[in-house]
Amino acid sequence: MKIHFWGVRGSLPTPISPKQVQSKIMAAIQRVTPADLQSAETRAKFVSSLPSWIFGTAGGNTACVEIEDGDTHIILDAGSGIRALGKEKKCPSKYHLIISHFHWDHINGFPFFDHAYNPKVKFEFYSHWPEARELFWEQMKEPFSPPSVGKSISKNIDFHTLEADTDFFIDDIKINSHKMRHPGDSYSFSFEKNGKKFVYATDVELKSSDFNKTTNEGQSVFRDADVIVIDSQYTVEEVYRKENWGHSAFCYAIDFAVYWNIKKVYLFHHEPAYDDKKLNSILQAARWYAQYINHSDIKIELAKEDMEFEL
């Protein structure tokens, strides 16, 4: 399975601002020395040595993650990141689209997904909501969209209602799901093949009850996963200030991974108010926290647009 991040931001799209670009340029200038400017080679070496928060960006598109396995194409959520997928990837004959929940930041990209307008493409649409068909098409109607959108998008879409904590298969990938704590509900998903397990756990507000060793709820989804992509939108201070908003602190995400014996964590669903420097500081704090609780063996990364890895 190959996993690709197309959108990693939470709540709403947040394109990088002119002020943030200027801050990156100033930070780079402060690091440069005369020796770095002597030739094209030294300049290239200097640029490549810059911290990732200066040289790159986590991105501003909302949730969209792609799983590609041979001819199987699975899209997890249709936030604004799905637009980039449609621009950069060739169009397959079929997509499997899994929606964690119907909050706007997880569906707002579909009307801008080029492949959705190709009548030759088949869409299999999966969610836990029996009314998914109506919810899906509602955003294509006036006054939310121009009338041409609803008329032009492919009607070659089948809707499937899922049952939580129950296995199902897309081709030879075994999938399971578990209901999470989030206003209006949200569901996490596991994907297993050839002894490898990948978990997508966006939009979850973790509480102490999620670390209760007397219950096995969610075990089939989370236990012993190789990789988890998990909501880590807040700092601890924000979690207390924004209780019941439906998101978690990065340290709770690490605790959750430790509890379920998960090997690698991608921090995901980034706070829209955070710039790249702040996100980098959260990544470093998460790694320090893992060391503090004596679990430095857990690998922790920051989910970024266009990042890709393989299981």
C-alpha 183/C-alpha 233 separation (Å) is 15
pTM above 0.85, yes or no: yes
Rounded CA-CA distance 54/65 in Å is 24
Token pair recorded at residue 191? 């994907």
Q: Which two structure tokens, joined as six digits, stand for 179?
A: 């209901």
In order along its 311 residues, the chain shows pLDDT tens digits of 999 999 999 999 999 999 999 999 999 999 999 999 999 999 999 999 999 999 999 999 999 999 999 999 999 999 999 999 999 988 999 999 999 999 999 999 999 999 999 999 999 999 999 999 999 999 888 888 888 888 899 889 999 999 999 999 999 999 999 999 999 999 999 999 999 999 999 999 998 777 766 667 888 999 999 999 999 999 888 988 998 898 999 999 999 999 999 999 999 999 999 999 999 999 999 999 999 998 889 999 999 999 999 99
310's tokens: 């393989």
10: Cβ contacts below 8 Å, ≥ 6 apart: 62, 63, 105, 203, 231, 233, 247, 269, 270, 271, 272
Residue 199: how many other CB atoms lie within 10 Å: 26
